[in-house]
Chain A
Protein backbone atom coordinates (compact mmCIF):
# COMPACT_ATOMS: atom_id res chain seq x y z
CA UNK A 1 0.00 0.00 0.00
CA UNK A 2 1.26 3.46 -0.77
CA UNK A 3 2.23 5.59 2.23
CA UNK A 4 -0.61 8.00 1.49
CA UNK A 5 -3.03 5.10 1.28
CA UNK A 6 -1.73 3.79 4.60
CA UNK A 7 -2.21 7.21 6.20
CA UNK A 8 -5.72 7.39 4.79
CA UNK A 9 -6.59 3.97 6.21
CA UNK A 10 -5.29 4.89 9.68
CA UNK A 11 -7.29 8.10 9.62
CA UNK A 12 -10.46 6.30 8.55
CA UNK A 13 -10.14 3.81 11.41
CA UNK A 14 -9.41 6.50 14.02
CA UNK A 15 -12.09 8.95 12.99
CA UNK A 16 -14.88 6.46 12.39
CA UNK A 17 -14.04 4.75 15.67
CA UNK A 18 -14.01 8.06 17.54
CA UNK A 19 -17.28 9.10 16.00
CA UNK A 20 -18.98 5.78 16.81
CA UNK A 21 -17.74 5.94 20.41
CA UNK A 22 -18.91 9.51 20.83
CA UNK A 23 -22.32 8.68 19.36
CA UNK A 24 -22.73 5.74 21.71
CA UNK A 25 -21.74 7.84 24.72
CA UNK A 26 -24.18 10.57 23.73
CA UNK A 27 -26.99 8.01 23.44
CA UNK A 28 -26.23 6.48 26.85
CA UNK A 29 -26.03 9.88 28.56
CA UNK A 30 -29.34 10.94 26.97
CA UNK A 31 -31.01 7.73 28.15
CA UNK A 32 -29.77 8.20 31.68
CA UNK A 33 -30.95 11.80 31.64
CA UNK A 34 -34.42 10.80 30.48
CA UNK A 35 -34.78 8.12 33.12
CA UNK A 36 -33.95 10.56 35.96
Chain B
Protein backbone atom coordinates (compact mmCIF):
# COMPACT_ATOMS: atom_id res chain seq x y z
CA UNK B 1 0.00 0.00 0.00
CA UNK B 2 2.83 2.29 0.93
CA UNK B 3 4.43 1.91 -2.46
CA UNK B 4 1.10 2.71 -4.16
CA UNK B 5 0.90 5.86 -2.08
CA UNK B 6 4.43 6.81 -2.99
CA UNK B 7 3.78 6.26 -6.68
CA UNK B 8 0.44 8.04 -6.46
CA UNK B 9 -1.41 4.96 -7.63
CA UNK B 10 -5.06 4.67 -6.72
CA UNK B 11 -5.54 1.23 -5.22
CA UNK B 12 -9.34 1.48 -5.36
CA UNK B 13 -9.12 2.00 -9.11
CA UNK B 14 -6.97 -1.10 -9.42
CA UNK B 15 -9.49 -3.18 -7.50
CA UNK B 16 -12.38 -1.77 -9.53
CA UNK B 17 -10.69 -2.57 -12.84
CA UNK B 18 -9.85 -6.13 -11.77
CA UNK B 19 -13.28 -6.85 -10.29
CA UNK B 20 -15.20 -5.37 -13.23
CA UNK B 21 -13.19 -7.15 -15.88
CA UNK B 22 -13.33 -10.43 -13.95
CA UNK B 23 -17.09 -10.11 -13.65
CA UNK B 24 -17.33 -9.46 -17.36
CA UNK B 25 -15.28 -12.60 -17.92
CA UNK B 26 -17.55 -14.67 -15.68
CA UNK B 27 -20.69 -13.36 -17.40
CA UNK B 28 -19.22 -14.01 -20.85
CA UNK B 29 -18.21 -17.51 -19.81
CA UNK B 30 -21.72 -18.15 -18.52
CA UNK B 31 -23.39 -17.16 -21.79
CA UNK B 32 -20.70 -18.63 -24.02
CA UNK B 33 -21.79 -22.11 -25.19
CA UNK B 34 -18.17 -23.27 -25.22
CA UNK B 35 -17.46 -21.67 -21.86
CA UNK B 36 -15.54 -23.51 -19.18
CA UNK B 37 -17.14 -25.42 -16.35
CA UNK B 38 -15.73 -25.30 -12.85
CA UNK B 39 -15.80 -29.06 -12.58
CA UNK B 40 -12.77 -30.69 -14.13
CA UNK B 41 -13.37 -31.76 -17.71
CA UNK B 42 -10.88 -34.55 -17.28
CA UNK B 43 -12.63 -37.31 -15.44
CA UNK B 44 -10.83 -39.66 -13.10
CA UNK B 45 -9.98 -42.96 -14.74
CA UNK B 46 -9.80 -46.49 -13.39
CA UNK B 47 -6.75 -48.71 -13.71
CA UNK B 48 -6.89 -51.63 -16.10
CA UNK B 49 -6.28 -54.97 -14.44
CA UNK B 50 -3.92 -57.41 -16.09
CA UNK B 51 -6.81 -59.78 -16.62
CA UNK B 52 -8.66 -57.17 -18.66
CA UNK B 53 -5.54 -56.44 -20.58
CA UNK B 54 -4.13 -59.87 -21.26
CA UNK B 55 -6.86 -62.44 -21.01
CA UNK B 56 -9.17 -60.48 -23.23
CA UNK B 57 -9.20 -62.11 -26.62
CA UNK B 58 -10.63 -58.92 -27.85
CA UNK B 59 -7.14 -57.54 -28.26
CA UNK B 60 -6.08 -60.37 -30.49
CA UNK B 61 -9.32 -60.20 -32.41
CA UNK B 62 -9.11 -56.52 -32.99
CA UNK B 63 -5.47 -56.89 -33.90
CA UNK B 64 -6.36 -59.32 -36.63
CA UNK B 65 -9.20 -57.24 -37.89
CA UNK B 66 -7.36 -53.99 -38.14
CA UNK B 67 -6.64 -52.63 -41.56
CA UNK B 68 -3.07 -51.62 -42.22
CA UNK B 69 -2.18 -48.50 -40.31
CA UNK B 70 -0.81 -46.97 -43.46
CA UNK B 71 -4.39 -46.56 -44.55
CA UNK B 72 -4.54 -43.79 -42.00
CA UNK B 73 -3.49 -41.47 -44.74
CA UNK B 74 -2.94 -37.87 -43.92
CA UNK B 75 0.65 -37.04 -43.36
CA UNK B 76 0.14 -35.11 -40.15
CA UNK B 77 -0.82 -38.07 -38.03
CA UNK B 78 1.67 -40.40 -39.61
CA UNK B 79 5.01 -38.68 -39.30
CA UNK B 80 7.02 -41.78 -40.02
CA UNK B 81 5.29 -44.13 -42.39
CA UNK B 82 8.36 -46.34 -42.72
CA UNK B 83 7.86 -47.63 -39.22
CA UNK B 84 4.24 -48.46 -39.57
CA UNK B 85 3.61 -52.14 -40.10
CA UNK B 86 1.95 -52.41 -43.47
CA UNK B 87 1.44 -56.01 -44.40
CA UNK B 88 0.68 -57.42 -41.00
CA UNK B 89 -3.07 -57.43 -41.57
CA UNK B 90 -3.38 -58.43 -45.23
CA UNK B 91 -6.87 -59.83 -44.89
CA UNK B 92 -8.43 -56.89 -43.19
CA UNK B 93 -11.50 -55.54 -44.82
CA UNK B 94 -13.83 -52.73 -44.01
CA UNK B 95 -16.70 -55.14 -43.63
CA UNK B 96 -14.92 -57.02 -40.90
CA UNK B 97 -14.04 -53.86 -39.10
CA UNK B 98 -17.60 -52.70 -39.24
CA UNK B 99 -18.81 -55.99 -37.85
CA UNK B 100 -16.30 -55.74 -35.07
CA UNK B 101 -17.39 -52.20 -34.25
CA UNK B 102 -20.95 -53.22 -33.75
CA UNK B 103 -19.95 -56.05 -31.44
CA UNK B 104 -17.38 -54.13 -29.52
CA UNK B 105 -18.57 -52.24 -26.52
CA UNK B 106 -15.06 -51.58 -25.19
CA UNK B 107 -14.30 -51.01 -21.53
CA UNK B 108 -17.00 -48.42 -20.84
CA UNK B 109 -14.35 -45.73 -20.35
CA UNK B 110 -10.66 -45.21 -21.04
CA UNK B 111 -8.52 -47.24 -18.62
CA UNK B 112 -5.18 -46.37 -17.09
CA UNK B 113 -2.28 -48.72 -17.65
CA UNK B 114 1.18 -48.89 -16.12
CA UNK B 115 4.56 -49.26 -17.78
CA UNK B 116 4.55 -53.07 -17.89
CA UNK B 117 1.08 -53.19 -19.36
CA UNK B 118 1.99 -50.52 -21.89
CA UNK B 119 5.03 -52.49 -22.95
CA UNK B 120 2.96 -55.65 -23.38
CA UNK B 121 0.61 -53.76 -25.65
CA UNK B 122 3.59 -52.29 -27.47
CA UNK B 123 4.87 -55.79 -28.15
CA UNK B 124 1.45 -56.64 -29.53
CA UNK B 125 1.92 -53.76 -32.00
CA UNK B 126 -0.97 -51.67 -30.75
CA UNK B 127 -1.40 -48.10 -31.85
CA UNK B 128 0.33 -45.63 -29.53
CA UNK B 129 -0.72 -42.00 -29.81
CA UNK B 130 1.35 -39.15 -28.44
CA UNK B 131 -0.90 -36.38 -27.09
CA UNK B 132 1.88 -33.86 -26.56
CA UNK B 133 2.66 -30.91 -28.79
CA UNK B 134 4.48 -31.55 -32.04
CA UNK B 135 7.73 -30.07 -30.74
CA UNK B 136 7.80 -32.47 -27.79
CA UNK B 137 7.02 -35.37 -30.13
CA UNK B 138 9.85 -34.38 -32.43
CA UNK B 139 12.29 -34.30 -29.53
CA UNK B 140 11.55 -37.95 -28.84
CA UNK B 141 8.66 -40.37 -28.64
CA UNK B 142 7.72 -44.01 -28.20
CA UNK B 143 8.82 -45.90 -31.28
CA UNK B 144 6.12 -46.12 -33.97
CA UNK B 145 3.78 -43.85 -32.01
CA UNK B 146 1.75 -41.31 -33.91
CA UNK B 147 1.53 -37.63 -33.05
CA UNK B 148 -1.90 -36.23 -32.27
CA UNK B 149 -1.38 -33.05 -30.25
CA UNK B 150 -4.37 -32.55 -28.00
CA UNK B 151 -4.18 -28.80 -28.48
CA UNK B 152 -4.61 -29.22 -32.22
CA UNK B 153 -7.28 -31.88 -32.02
CA UNK B 154 -9.63 -30.06 -34.37
CA UNK B 155 -6.99 -29.92 -37.12
CA UNK B 156 -6.70 -33.69 -37.03
CA UNK B 157 -10.37 -34.57 -37.09
CA UNK B 158 -10.48 -35.71 -40.70
CA UNK B 159 -7.47 -37.93 -40.13
CA UNK B 160 -8.83 -39.37 -36.89
CA UNK B 161 -11.92 -40.59 -38.68
CA UNK B 162 -9.67 -42.90 -40.71
CA UNK B 163 -8.74 -44.85 -37.60
CA UNK B 164 -11.19 -47.75 -37.20
CA UNK B 165 -13.35 -47.41 -34.13
CA UNK B 166 -12.35 -50.86 -32.93
CA UNK B 167 -8.66 -50.00 -32.91
CA UNK B 168 -6.97 -50.53 -29.57
CA UNK B 169 -5.29 -47.25 -28.80
CA UNK B 170 -2.81 -46.34 -26.10
CA UNK B 171 -2.57 -42.61 -25.46
CA UNK B 172 0.30 -41.06 -23.57
CA UNK B 173 1.80 -37.67 -22.81
CA UNK B 174 4.74 -36.37 -20.79
CA UNK B 175 4.32 -38.27 -17.55
CA UNK B 176 2.33 -38.95 -14.42
CA UNK B 177 0.94 -35.52 -13.82
CA UNK B 178 0.14 -34.47 -17.37
CA UNK B 179 -3.52 -34.37 -18.29
CA UNK B 180 -3.19 -34.31 -22.08
CA UNK B 181 -3.42 -38.08 -22.51
CA UNK B 182 -6.52 -38.36 -20.32
CA UNK B 183 -8.15 -35.42 -22.06
CA UNK B 184 -7.35 -36.86 -25.49
CA UNK B 185 -8.52 -40.33 -24.46
CA UNK B 186 -11.82 -38.88 -23.29
CA UNK B 187 -12.29 -37.03 -26.55
CA UNK B 188 -11.47 -40.10 -28.62
CA UNK B 189 -13.74 -42.18 -26.40
CA UNK B 190 -16.52 -39.68 -27.02
CA UNK B 191 -15.93 -40.09 -30.77
CA UNK B 192 -16.52 -43.82 -30.41
CA UNK B 193 -13.03 -45.24 -29.78
CA UNK B 194 -13.87 -47.51 -26.90
CA UNK B 195 -10.75 -49.69 -26.74
CA UNK B 196 -8.61 -46.97 -25.35
CA UNK B 197 -5.93 -46.98 -22.68
CA UNK B 198 -4.04 -44.15 -21.05
CA UNK B 199 -0.41 -44.98 -20.35
CA UNK B 200 -0.06 -43.08 -17.11
CA UNK B 201 3.73 -43.02 -16.86
CA UNK B 202 3.97 -41.52 -20.31
CA UNK B 203 7.06 -40.57 -22.22
CA UNK B 204 9.13 -39.92 -19.08
CA UNK B 205 8.67 -43.42 -17.66
CA UNK B 206 9.03 -45.12 -21.03
CA UNK B 207 12.30 -43.35 -21.73
CA UNK B 208 13.67 -44.08 -18.25
CA UNK B 209 12.86 -47.75 -18.69
CA UNK B 210 14.96 -47.82 -21.84
CA UNK B 211 12.15 -49.11 -24.03
CA UNK B 212 12.22 -48.43 -27.79
CA UNK B 213 12.13 -44.78 -28.72
CA UNK B 214 12.85 -42.73 -31.78
A is bound by B: no
List A residues at the B interface (Cβ < 8 Å): none
Binding site for A on B (CB under 8 A): none
